[in-house]
Structure 1
Amino acid sequence: MKKHQQPEIIGRKAEQDLLAQALQQPEAQLLAVYGRRRVGKTYLIRKFYSRQLLFEFSGVHNGATRSQLENFAHALKQAENMSLPPAVPTSWGQAFQSLQDVLQPKLKKKKGVVFLDEFPWLNAPRSGFLSAFEFFWNNWASKQPNLVIVICGSAASWMIQKVVNNKGGLHNRITRKIRLLPFTLNETADFLSARKIRLDHYQIAQLYMTMGGIPHYLKEVEPGQSAAQAIDRSCFSKDGLLRQEFQNLYHSLFSNAQAHIAIVRALAAKPSGLTRNEIIEACALKTGGTTSLLLDELTESGFIAAYIPFNKSLRDRIYKLSDEYTAFYVKFIERSRAMGPGTWLKMMRSQSWKSWSGLAFESLCLKHVSALKAALGIAGIYTEESAWRFTGRKEVAGCQVDLLIDRSDSCISLCEMKFSDGPFTISKEYAAVLTHKRQTFISESKTRKTVFLAMVTTFGVSSNVYKASLIQNEITLEDLFSASS
């Protein structure tokens, strides 16, 4: 571990390097940190900059400007250890002037960090917040070589549009940006281990397929519980965190959340994905900028992901739901009539669970392509990942490939992903499906590259004649937990 990395921070090594670099620069730094709600942004900044933090302040969702300014005054009191809070500023301009007065003597002595959390929530209509912050940065803060300002927000799209791509006073002022993503499988295992939770990789994968790598959700897991017990309690008990989280999640991030929710529901109903036009039709949206903005907001916030089909252009991209919790909520939680202990254990015996687990495992694999590449021995080779779909015609049945790795070594890996509670066996029927898929891809794509079939499974593939004749590469769940992912 590098000396600037904090031992109590799980993973986040690249992000910690960026935060450390900001402290080493000889001029003022303005960092933008964004990512979906509950992903651990606040924890990362507080922990990493615990020794340098001079002032911390967080916006309140839908808070009136007056109450936000009152909170700002209390934050100044805390930063200065005052017995009484200072007078409440009458404007954001006055608030930042007060902050400047507090910081000025401290920054003469050492490096200091100002942390403005939930930054978008401070910019209420007609509050004048953003213009006041721009003035504060451009006229004073940017001239303080010992100052690092971190602005952080869960409304990722707002952060991109209003801060990172700002066309006004903050244009090109951001010195570093961090988009904080959920934990990988490997980081999830480390996080649980640090909390004294001992689960094998199969159990952790089930948690990941339900909650994703969201630290706040993973805190629901208690020592001595199985994954099924943790899911049962957090999702299907009356007061379970994840039973009530869905509406809060979207409404806290998006002002017009119903449109965003409509899109994720449409994608949940079509796991293979939808094109932009199909989303417009399914959700009765208007064509044009509004739809593009909705899709960008959901993508930047990490709820959906766009994939460009093999040999297609950007305008042919397919959108898929990538947030595990959203998919699980729509599939099981909101539909569940039963509640209480044992609900999930009962559902796990249903056909619905079997179909969901297969799709959830595919989604998990798509998020760990770097680990897949390492397992294939092509980590250092340039690749392009995509999906491929053939609708079929009269004499040729349709088929699709959910993960295709197009390699610069003149090869293509078609990845088949299967979730099971033991070694997966390729039957005669499934062997025919795989043969058809490979041959159809070669003939329809007209590729001249060598095409390999790779199986990605939980516990490997049982040896038989079909495996020997069809499968060139085998990847297991253990490979997906590689630290390189």
Structure 2
Amino acid sequence: MTWKFYGRSLELESLRKLLTQPRWFFCAISGRRRIGKTSLIREALQTLPLARKAVYLQVPDSDERDVVAVFVDALQAAAPQGLPASVDPGSLHRFSDMTRCMGELCRAGWVVILDEFQYFNRKSLSAFPSLLQSEVDKLTGGSSGGIFVLGSIHTEMTALLEDRSSPLYARVTDRMALDHWDFVTLFQVFADQGVTQPEDWLALWGLFEGVPKFYRDCAHQGVFEPLLPSQIESNAGLHAIEALFFSASAPLLEEASTWFMRELRGASVSILRLLSHQQPCGHQQLSEAYAQSFSDTKSFANYLSVLIDRYRLVERLQPVFVQTTGSRQARYQISDNFLAAWLAAIEPGVQAARVQPLVRALEIVATRLATHEEIVFERMVRKLMAEASRRGVGDFALTDIVTGYWNRPRDAARLIEIDIVAVNETDRVVRFGSCKRSESKHNGESVKKFEQHISDFLTTSTGRRFTGWTQQRALYSPRFSADKRSALTQNGYLCVDLPDFHAWLCKPSP
């Protein structure tokens, strides 16, 4: 199927404005790998009324000589555009030559793009920022050209550009942070690619969230083509996994190891693996699991903090109204769907395929993927509620972020667990929600348990805040049949599924 550039309309407009105004710029764009930083710049350049010349360098995690050599290759690739007479690729040997060349390009109106800029925070490349600062100071106030620096590791980009001790401190003229596609864009992608089943929306989002490159790979590998008769029992998620990880080309097979694992070492990887099999879980549960594998338990908290603050691969969750980061009730889960799915479901299948038939390996993936989807569906609902509320649509107007509630009782019989606690302070409405991957799991037993947990929660100090408020009970599933919805609605429950969110978010403007 064909592919096009999706979404990012606000970001595109900002870049077009930046590229057409009569001033030099130094723009930093941050976001996880594969989120579309380079594609966004390329789309902006290609859609300008007047073409801009550009040179692109993906910085290797190497040494000075290699970086300069790769930059020379980039200049030679850009030569057909007509390099300035003052630029001689053959004369570049050191970082000082490279930065002077960047200055010459900018003064000639060129745009220089440095991808993976965070690698300049490495000791072996640390001379570059000071040399670039000297050139930036000369270019500041100019009327042409510009430099984009793109990076995927937040803390290292911050250290290079925002730390007061950094040579490039206060030099950035423009900033942009790219997040995942929103659901409006995802629903457009699904519509264009013929993905119509809500279960497939969950399966694909659970694997790739809103990362453009992964969906483009799906299109190029035929994942969105109609299924063969032998594949009818498979959902889009399993079909994508088979095509992207188990086929002859397998374009994503090395993605996890070359992206995540190259940046991480030892204990950090072990924590992610432990977390992938029992998330979300509390600090004590995770630290005890870590202690069973490693004797150096004192460093556990440091490794966990690095995963949260530096790499942003783990998120710390708090129950509703709990603000303290050190709360004993905090839970942790992997914040990236692709990484969580890889560690929990796909990697075990890939390993099994080396010694077992493919069909058996895919069965292992399918079983583990079902558990993974149970976890990510709750997260998906929270994000859908937030986006719908932000756009002024949907059936609940939020005044705070959507979270849940859980406690840590000594007696397991006193456990309280509520998936969704959504609050509208203005209208004094609170919604309690239960999320299930299948409508059949919203049965009499689970609904009774849901009610008991709400009742117990309302007796807590947190729950008593909602005395006198309007209380709603909502059940969430990827899809509700008409009969199931009718039966649950008659018992006083709101039923919300993915087609409901699709209808709200994709409703045509009047």
Q: TM-score range by the shorter chain?
A: 0.7 to 0.9
CA contact (8 A) 1:375 1:479 kept: no
Instruction: Please name the residue that 1:183 is paired with.
Output: 181
Counterpart residue identity of residue 443, structure 1: T
- Root-mean-square deviation over aligned CA pairs: 3.3
Shift of 1:248: 1.1
CA contact (8 A) 1:403 1:416 kept: yes
Note closer, same or farther for the CA distance 1:169–1:122 as it changes in structure 2 (3 Å cut).
closer
Say if 2:90 is the partner of 1:87: yes
Shift of 1:307: 2.6
Counterpart residue identity of residue 61, structure 2: N
1:167-189 per-residue CA deviation (whole Å, 9 max, x = no partner) reads: 43322333332222222344234
Secondary structure, in 3 states, of the residue corresponding to 1:416? strand
Say if 2:386 is the partner of 1:370: yes
Instruction: Please name the residue that 2:344 is paired with.
Output: 331
Secondary structure, in 3 states, of the residue corresponding to 1:242? coil
Instruction: Please name the residue that 1:322 is paired with.
Output: 335
Note closer, same or farther for the CA distance 1:285–1:28 as it changes in structure 2 (3 Å cut).
farther
Note closer, same or farther for the CA distance 1:117–1:243 as it changes in structure 2 (3 Å cut).
closer
Instruction: Please name the residue that 2:212 is paired with.
Output: 215
Taking the aligned partners of 2:471 and 2:61, their CA distance within structure 1 comes to 54
Shift of 1:323: 1.6
Secondary structure, in 3 states, of the residue corresponding to 2:181? coil
Structure 2 residues not aligned, in runs of 5+: 228-235, 291-296
Superposed, 1:159-174 pairs within 5 Å as: 159-165=157-163, 167-174=165-172
1:219-259 per-residue CA deviation (whole Å, 9 max, x = no partner) reads: 3321424413232222334652333322112144x2x4334
Taking the aligned partners of 2:140 and 2:57, their CA distance within structure 1 comes to 21
Superposed, 1:230-245 pairs within 5 Å as: 230-237=240-247, 240-245=250-255
Counterpart residue identity of residue 411, structure 1: V
Taking the aligned partners of 1:30 and 1:65, their CA distance within structure 2 comes to 22
Instruction: Please name the residue that 1:205 is paired with.
Output: 202
Taking the aligned partners of 1:198 and 1:91, their CA distance within structure 2 comes to 50
CA contact (8 A) 1:309 1:387 kept: yes
Structure 1 residues not aligned, in runs of 5+: 1-6
Shift of 1:10: 0.5
Instruction: Please name the residue that 2:11 is paired with.
Output: 15
Normalised by the size of structure 1, how large is the TM-score? 0.83
Note closer, same or farther for the CA distance 1:24–1:309 as it changes in structure 2 (3 Å cut).
farther
Shift of 1:289: 6.1
Instruction: Please name the residue that 2:155 is paired with.
Output: 157
Note closer, same or farther for the CA distance 1:87–1:24 as it changes in structure 2 (3 Å cut).
closer
1:307-345 per-residue CA deviation (whole Å, 9 max, x = no partner) reads: 332232232243321222222222222222246654576
Note closer, same or farther for the CA distance 1:268–1:289 as it changes in structure 2 (3 Å cut).
closer
Shift of 1:436: 0.6
1:130-163 per-residue CA deviation (whole Å, 9 max, x = no partner) reads: 11112221x2222213333211022333112322
Note closer, same or farther for the CA distance 1:27–1:402 as it changes in structure 2 (3 Å cut).
farther
Instruction: Please name the residue that 2:414 is paired with.
Output: 397
CA contact (8 A) 2:105 2:145 kept: no
CA contact (8 A) 2:22 2:144 kept: yes
Secondary structure, in 3 states, of the residue corresponding to 2:253? helix
Instruction: Please name the residue that 1:432 is paired with.
Output: 448
Shift of 1:94: 2.3
Instruction: Please name the residue that 2:69 is paired with.
Output: 70
1:247-283 per-residue CA deviation (whole Å, 9 max, x = no partner) reads: 112144x2x43343223223212222334x6655554
Flag the structure with more relative contact order, 1 or 2, with Cα contacts below 8 A and sequence separation at least 6: 1
Say if 2:482 is the partner of 1:479: no
Identity across matched positions, percent? 18
Superposed, 1:48-447 pairs within 5 Å as: 48-50=44-46, 51=48, 53-81=52-80, 86-104=89-107, 106-107=108-109, 113-127=111-125, 128-137=127-136, 139-165=137-163, 167-191=165-189, 196-221=193-218, 222=222, 223-226=224-227, 227=236, 228-237=238-247, 240-252=250-262, 254=263, 256-275=264-283, 282-283=289-290, 284=297, 286=299, 291-299=304-312, 303-315=313-325, 316=327, 317-336=330-349, 337-338=352-353, 342-343=359-360, 346-347=363-364, 350=367, 352-371=368-387, 373=389, 376-379=394-397, 381-392=398-409, 397-409=414-426, 410-420=428-438, 423-424=439-440, 426-444=442-460, 445=462, 446-447=464-465
Secondary structure, in 3 states, of the residue corresponding to 2:61? coil
Q: 2:491 aligns with which of 442, 460, 469?
A: 469
Taking the aligned partners of 1:340 and 1:372, their CA distance within structure 2 comes to 44
Taking the aligned partners of 2:116 and 2:21, their CA distance within structure 1 comes to 25
Which moved further from structure 2: 154-163 or 332-341? 332-341
Secondary structure, in 3 states, of the residue corresponding to 2:491? helix
How many correspondences in the alignment? 461
Shift of 1:477: 0.7
Instruction: Please name the residue that 1:453 is paired with.
Output: 473
Taking the aligned partners of 1:197 and 1:269, their CA distance within structure 2 comes to 33
Taking the aligned partners of 2:366 and 2:119, their CA distance within structure 1 comes to 44
Secondary structure, in 3 states, of the residue corresponding to 1:367? helix
Instruction: Please name the residue that 1:34 is paired with.
Output: 30
Normalised by the size of structure 2, how large is the TM-score? 0.79
Shift of 1:376: 4.3
CA contact (8 A) 1:237 1:341 kept: no
CA contact (8 A) 1:322 1:363 kept: no
Instruction: Please name the residue that 1:3 is paired with.
Output: none
Taking the aligned partners of 2:18 and 2:286, their CA distance within structure 1 comes to 41
Instruction: Please name the residue that 2:294 is paired with.
Output: none
CA contact (8 A) 2:63 2:124 kept: no
Shift of 1:166: 5.1
Note closer, same or farther for the CA distance 1:484–1:58 as it changes in structure 2 (3 Å cut).
farther
Note closer, same or farther for the CA distance 1:136–1:434 as it changes in structure 2 (3 Å cut).
same
Secondary structure, in 3 states, of the residue corresponding to 2:299? coil
Shift of 1:484: 7.5
Taking the aligned partners of 2:17 and 2:289, their CA distance within structure 1 comes to 46
